């Protein structure tokens, strides 16, 4: 008797997942706007999409990884100036943000001697060496020179 109840419970759980999937109808109107609804439109050809098939978009911030070290940069000084001028011209707000970020980084790097950073791959804290700190200072000085004028 107990095993029969267990069998009913397991089968109910297995089949209830498919019953919970909601049908979503999607269509594009005459203005090119996409619409989504649980009721099908009366006079428009729509497409059925099941809620279990929809994957949520990834949310979060992915930090930009540097391609190479600052001493082995492949772009020339002239290219950096041109890119900075292009960013300033097209997006002054982004240039101001880069400038503020560089100033803040310089303040932190010049104020503290013992710094830590989180490794992007493993997530563990790594002590920044003096050479890395000086390289970061140099890099942020250059960013400040390019974007804070």
pLDDT tens-digit series, residues 113-145: 888 888 888 888 888 888 988 999 999 998 888
Residue pair 74/68 in contact (Cβ under 8 Å)? The answer is: yes
pTM of the model: 0.43
pLDDT at 56: 67
CA distance 14 to 131: 59
DSSP state of 43: S
Higher pLDDT pick, 102 / 64: 102
């Amino acid at each position: 008797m107990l095993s029969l109840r267990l069998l009913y419970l397991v089968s109910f759980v297995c089949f209830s997942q498919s019953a919970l999937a909601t049908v979503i109808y999607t269509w594009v109107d005459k203005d090119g706007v996409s619409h989504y609804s649980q009721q099908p439109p009366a006079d428009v050809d729509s497409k059925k999409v099941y809620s279990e098939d929809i994957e949520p978009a990834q949310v979060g911030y992915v930090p930009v990884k540097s391609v190479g070290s600052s001493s082995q940069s492949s772009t020339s000084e002239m290219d950096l100036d041109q890119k900075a001028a292009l960013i300033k011209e097209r997006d002054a707000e982004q240039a101001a943000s880069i400038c503020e970020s560089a100033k803040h980084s310089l303040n932190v790097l010049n104020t503290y001697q013992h710094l830590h950073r989180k490794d992007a791959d493993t997530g563990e804290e790594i002590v920044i060496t003096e050479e890395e700190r000086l390289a970061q200072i140099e890099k942020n000085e250059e960013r400040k020179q390019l974007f804070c004028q």
